[in-house]
Amino acid sequence: MKNLIGIEKEKATELTKMLNQLLADYQLFYQNLRGLHWNIKGREFFELHLKFEEFYDDAVLKIDEIAERVLTLEGEPLHTFTDYLKASNIKEEKNVTNGIEGVKIVVDNFSKIIVQERQILALAGEADDEGTVSLMSDYISQTEKTLWMLNSYLH
């Protein structure tokens, strides 16, 4: 049986679970970025303060897109912090003021997110879910480039 957009309901349900996991990861990542943006100190303050803001502005857009994709697949997006904390692979970071430590946290968070995006991409391909494939392809390309740049910053 297929849903409104022509995806098998069983596969749509599995995609919804995975997208909700990604939604939770992005919500925790977003909050970590806000904390880094607010609390960073030191010589890299000006550049990292702006970079963390750029990242959280992007994350908030992705959060909305992921939630809307869940709805498109006829699922219900997670929307409480209790649910996010239970589902997320990303841990909360608190009181980080060191720039290099902050960048390492961002790299770690992005590294976890890209694994989830690749898993969703594979399942979406099997389900002939072009909308989710397109979304994940765009996210993966952007995340790969960002990880390369952040890694270059650290070396």
Which percentage of the chain shows pLDDT scores above 90? 100
What fold, for 9-154? Ferritin (1.20.1260)
Cα-based torsion angle of the residue sequence 29, 33, 39, 43 in order, rounded to the nearest 10 degrees: 130
Mean pLDDT of 60-88: 97
pLDDT digits (tens, 9 = 90+) for 80-136: 999 999 999 999 999 999 999 999 999 999 999 999 999 999 999 999 999 999 999
What pLDDT shows up at residue 38? 97
Mean pLDDT of 2-11: 94
Give the count of beta carbons closer than 10 Å to the beta carbon of residue 151: 11
Long-range contacts of 137-142 (CB under 8 A, 24+ apart): 139/62, 140/114, 142/58
Q: How confident is the model at residue 70 (pLDDT cuts 50, 70, 90)?
A: very high
CA distance 38 to 71: 32
